[in-house]
Structure 1
Amino acid sequence: MDDHSTGKNINQKYTNTIPNEYYFNLYTQTFICLETAFENKKFQPYIYKHNIAGKMKWQLENDFKMISGYRCQKATIRFRGRNYIAWFAPKIPLPYGPWKLNGLPGLILEAYDDTKEVYFSANQITIPFDDTQEKLKKPTAVKEIAFKAFIEKRKQESENVIKSIQARLPKGSKTVSTNVERKGLELTYEWEKK
């Protein structure tokens, strides 16, 4: 989408090594996420919309460090089961960051969880940004789904894999069931809170 006053593109997009894409629309304050779920023995792309922008409750800390020549301030948040530490640059007054982390009064140049299992870092900052030939486009997929339904689909597929493995065990075999710990960036969801 273009900023009608300047004609410049004002959306952001993050892509990781898996074919997931996270696109943020500034006008609607909505994330449009492309992620995959295993279905019919292959990964299927799905789109879901996410309205978490502006709802992140960051705690600003009186701690600073230099990243890529910018004085960055520390902020912390508990989000989806992880404690994140982010370093943002107030001199770059854009409230964006990697993945779904956003809402600080400066661009997030580094973010990680307190276990360092998740780590994001800016490789290079170029200001002014040289115009590119490639325009950001919203991710597209065959199927659009509600966020909660997407998470439930992933959970159901995991359960189906376990059932499939159990069905192939020799007759008379016994299995011991344990809780499988959720992995990934999001460990808990709002609707799971008690």
Structure 2
Amino acid sequence: MLLEKNGYSPTYYSLISKDRDSEFKLIERIIPEKVVSNEYTGEIVLNTETPDSIQPVIRTNFKQEKIYSYDFITEDDGKTYTGYSIVEPITVKWKLGNETKKIDKYLCKKATTRFRGRNYVAWYTEEIPISIGPWKFHGLPGIIINMTDNTNQVSFLLEKIEIPYDYLNNKLEVIDSEHAISVREFIEIRKNAKIKSREFFKKKVLSKLPRGANIELTQGGNNDIEIEF
């Protein structure tokens, strides 16, 4: 499944369904240019290259009605990362629509929802009656084929379906649920880490400039999928 977010380079995820669980896991990033400069404004944008070993994963347990995530945070310029287990209830509420359209070979139906500050339109197909979808989206009468928020900043597209799936050679990730923290706790930790990361980067750049030099860091738009809690 392909995820495109805020005009950034796309990322590819696998979406696996087994028994009463599903897993949404990063499998490939398309790395953007590390340094992008604007010749008119002089603004320079630096893109942190996240190591391939850092693979966020989301595991949904439908029996418990909970979502377990494993995500990473850096407090420097991406040299080191700390992993966190996160738990939350399944809370997405859907409004089913009457519109239909064909996506590839599948007849899809429309559904809408508002979740964590964004309004989404989802297209799902009952031809594959598995109630799963990308990221934290589940609960429709079929698998979600395509999903986009109303600002076109976040977009998911299912590119390939494999039925049956080889579970023996591709086991689901195990997430430490016993020590999992809440989403709000994780967001607070990440917010403080971003402040430390910006200060770390600023000191690193200033150490290479002449004495008395100064730089100003500007915060870009919110490129997180979740913008309200």
Common fold, TM-score beyond 0.5? yes
Asked if residue 31 in structure 1 is aligned to residue 67 in structure 2, the reply is: yes
Secondary structure of the residue aligned to 2:194 is helix
Normalization by structure 2: what TM-score?
0.66
- Give the stretch that moved more between structures: 61-70 or 158-167: 158-167
Secondary structure of the residue aligned to 2:161 is coil
- Aligned pairs (5 A) from 1:128-143: 129-133=164-168, 134-140=170-176
Asked if residue 43 in structure 1 is aligned to residue 43 in structure 2, the reply is: no
What do residues 88-123 of structure 1 show as CA deviations (whole Å, max 9, x unaligned)?
Answer: 112322221000111212111111112322221112
What do residues 32-84 of structure 1 show as CA deviations (whole Å, max 9, x unaligned)?
Answer: 10110114651111111111x2x322222221112242211011112112221
CA distance in 2, matches of 1:184, 1:174: 25
Look up the match of 2:47.
none
Task: Report the aligned-residue RMSD.
Answer: 2.7
Look up the match of 1:182.
222
Secondary structure of the residue aligned to 1:144 is coil
Asked if residue 11 in structure 1 is aligned to residue 21 in structure 2, the reply is: yes
- Give the stretch that moved more between structures: 91-100 or 25-34: 91-100
Asked if residue 148 in structure 1 is aligned to residue 188 in structure 2, the reply is: no
User: Is the CA contact (8 Å cut-off) linking 1:11 and 1:136 kept in structure 2?
Assistant: no
CA distance in 2, matches of 1:173, 1:132: 54
Amino acid at match of 2:224: G
CA distance in 2, matches of 1:171, 1:145: 43
Look up the match of 2:130.
94
Please report how far the alpha carbon of residue 145 of structure 1 lies from its aligned counterpart in structure 2 after TM superposition. Answer: 2.5
CA distance in 1, matches of 2:60, 2:215: 48
Secondary structure of the residue aligned to 2:81 is strand
Asked if residue 120 in structure 1 is aligned to residue 169 in structure 2, the reply is: no
User: Is the CA contact (8 Å cut-off) linking 2:84 and 2:180 kept in structure 1?
Assistant: yes
CA distance in 2, matches of 1:77, 1:25: 21
Is the alpha carbon distance of 1:132 and 1:144 closer, same or farther for their aligned partners in structure 2, counting shifts above 3 Å?
closer
Is the alpha carbon distance of 1:116 and 1:37 closer, same or farther for their aligned partners in structure 2, counting shifts above 3 Å?
same
CA distance in 2, matches of 1:174, 1:125: 48
Secondary structure of the residue aligned to 1:161 is helix
User: Is the CA contact (8 Å cut-off) linking 2:96 and 2:111 kept in structure 1?
Assistant: yes
CA distance in 1, matches of 2:160, 2:202: 48
- Aligned pairs (5 A) from 1:61-80: 61-80=97-116
Secondary structure of the residue aligned to 2:108 is strand
Aligned counterpart in structure 1 of residue 118 of structure 2, from 62, 72, 82: 82
Please report how far the alpha carbon of residue 10 of structure 1 lies from its aligned counterpart in structure 2 after TM superposition. Answer: 3.3
Normalization by structure 1: what TM-score?
0.76
Please report how far the alpha carbon of residue 162 of structure 1 lies from its aligned counterpart in structure 2 after TM superposition. Answer: 3.5
Identity %: 31
